[in-house]
């Protein structure tokens, strides 16, 4: 698994470093900690952002015991060196000495574009980003940036708005087009949080042979989990009630929405509605792709 | 290890995993055998040696940890790569204690596992 963590200098970013470290401790994922500065005046990165990223790296690594750390230690301060128009933290340690990659980078330019570009370059499986509480959902002072990332990314995106205990993960799946990677991402989240899994299927009387067709597909999902010795709650929700259900579930725990290109949900939830959900949610929202 | 094709055994009880990996790795020049049953895979590893074994952990019957333990006991030079959909720090630690080459949490892209396989190949070449 490869994860890009988008980080700015605000306190919510500090909180998501902790969340990302927990996920990394379980999955031993390759990690890129990414900061973005709007412009560069030379060979040096923004001082405040550089300082914060160093702190985040240290905080991330502090989650690991010496013997359990696949990313190497906190040897030396390292230095940011220019790379492809941005900056990469390099140290004395040789990357190949460690089992997994922990890159700390600063890109220069428009934040949305640069975060998406980094995710693309890394061929990542997940982007993690925090934001302010409330409706405007700011990142680095830019309103709605996490919404834009969630809307535009080709990869799964986890928006952590407020750290809460995740007892339940409500996962709205399109039974027609469930990607293997989305199921695998959910499984890792369930394992991480030891959370109860709720699979929410749609009953759309106009598609897929009506309720019977939907139930057949839900049976396939149940079999998938039964084979894995998991027993999720299964819930069927009428199409017209789904938005309300999602809004409610997002207040109770993590909500995951499968929003691939072929997803029926992608048609039901317009891109604007995805953003609305991200903005109004009180906890974490994961957009699965 | 000689200049012959690198042999890879893939064990995952979810057929979709092998279905995705096999053609992609064969295209890259590897000799690939796939199994969805750990018992069948174990039998095969007793019949012949593989350069690289890729195994899931959570499976019915003999689980992946027991399988890789047997593989490493029988053939210490075989490099084992663990792939798991339910990763925990404990399983990662235990895997490395048992001498696996790498530990990948699902989901992963073909490019990621290909990189790991290449590194395992390099190690095999260096030690041969």
Give tens-digit pLDDT for B34-55: 999 999 999 999 999 999 999 9
From A50-64, A228-242, A256-270, B44-58, the region with the lowest mean pLDDT: A256-270
SS3 B124: helix
Query: Which residues numbered 14-33 in B keep a CB inside 8 Å of some CB on A?
Result: 14, 16-17, 20
Residues of chain B contacting A22 with CB distance shorter than 8 Å: none
Please give the distance of CA A228 from its chain centroid, rounded to a whole number: 24
Q: Do A125 and B107 touch (CB under 8 A)?
A: yes
Q: CA A176, CA A179: separation in Å to the nearest integer?
A: 10
CATH architecture of B7-127: 3-Layer(aba) Sandwich (3.40)
Question: What angle (nearest 5°) sits at the alpha carbon of residue A133, between those of residues A130 and A135?
Answer: 110
Look at A80-94, A147-161, A264-278 and tell me which has the smallest mean pLDDT: A264-278
The pLDDT value given to residue A87:
93
Question: Of A64, A119, A187, A221, which to mutate for an interface test with B (greatest number of B Cβ within 10 Å)?
Answer: A187
Q: What's the rounded mean pLDDT across residues A236-263?
A: 76
Higher-confidence position of B17 and A92: B17
Residue with tokens 């469930």: A178
Q: Which helix (H) or strand (E) holds A160?
A: strand A156-160
Give yes or no for residue A119 having a pLDDT over 80: yes
CA B24 remoteness from chain centre: 15
pLDDT at A68: 80
Cβ(A149)–Cβ(A6) below 8 Å: yes
Please report the domains of chain A, with CATH numbers, ordered by start residue.
2-160 (3.40.50.620), 168-288 (3.40.50.620)
ipTM of this complex prediction, to 2 decimal places: 0.91
């Amino acid at each position: 698994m490869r994860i890009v963590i988008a980080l700015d200098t605000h306190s919510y970013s500090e909180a998501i470093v902790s969340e990302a470290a927990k996920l990394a401790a379980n999955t031993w994922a390759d990690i890129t900690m990414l900061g973005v500065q709007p412009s560069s005046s030379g060979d040096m990165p923004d001082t405040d952002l550089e300082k914060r990223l160093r702190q985040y790296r240290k905080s991330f690594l502090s989650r690991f015991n010496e013997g359990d750390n696949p990313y190497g230690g906190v040897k030396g301060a390292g230095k940011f060196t220019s790379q492809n128009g941005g900056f990469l933290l390099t140290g004395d340690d040789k990357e190949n000495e460690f089992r997994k990659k922990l890159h700390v980078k600063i890109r220069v330019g428009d934040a949305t574009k640069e975060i998406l570009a980094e995710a693309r370059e890394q061929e990542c499986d997940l982007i993690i980003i925090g934001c302010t509480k409330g409706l405007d959902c700011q990142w680095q002072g830019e309103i709605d940036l996490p919404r834009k990332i969630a809307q535009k990314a080709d990869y799964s995106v986890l928006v952590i708005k407020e750290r809460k205990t995740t007892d339940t993960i409500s996962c709205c799946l399109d039974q027609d087009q469930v990607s293997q990677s989305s199921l695998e991402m959910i499984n890792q989240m369930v394992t991480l949080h030891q959370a109860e899994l709720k699979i929410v299927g749609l009953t759309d009387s106009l598609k897929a042979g009506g309720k019977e067709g939907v139930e057949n597909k839900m049976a396939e999902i149940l079999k998938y989990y039964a084979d894995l010795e998991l027993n999720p709650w299964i819930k069927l929700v009428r199409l017209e009630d789904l938005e309300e259900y999602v809004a409610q579930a997002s207040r109770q725990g993590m909500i995951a929405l499968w929003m691939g290109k072929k997803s029926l949900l992608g048609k039901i939830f317009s891109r604007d509605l995805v953003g609305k959900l991200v903005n109004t949610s009180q906890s974490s929202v994961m957009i699965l792709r | 290890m000689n200049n012959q094709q690198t042999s890879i055994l893939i064990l995952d009880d979810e057929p979709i995993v092998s279905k995705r990996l096999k053609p992609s790795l064969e295209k890259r020049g590897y000799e690939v055998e796939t199994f969805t049953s750990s018992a069948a895979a174990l039998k095969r590893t007793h019949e012949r040696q593989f350069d690289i074994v890729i195994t899931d952990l959570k499976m019915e019957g003999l689980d992946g940890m027991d399988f890789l333990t047997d593989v490493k006991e029988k053939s210490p030079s075989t490099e084992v790569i663990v792939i798991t959909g339910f990763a925990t720090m404990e399983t990662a630690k235990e895997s490395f204690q048992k001498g696996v080459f790498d530990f990948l949490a699902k989901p992963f892209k073909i490019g990621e596992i290909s990189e790991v396989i290449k590194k395992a190949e390099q190690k095999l070449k260096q030690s041969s």
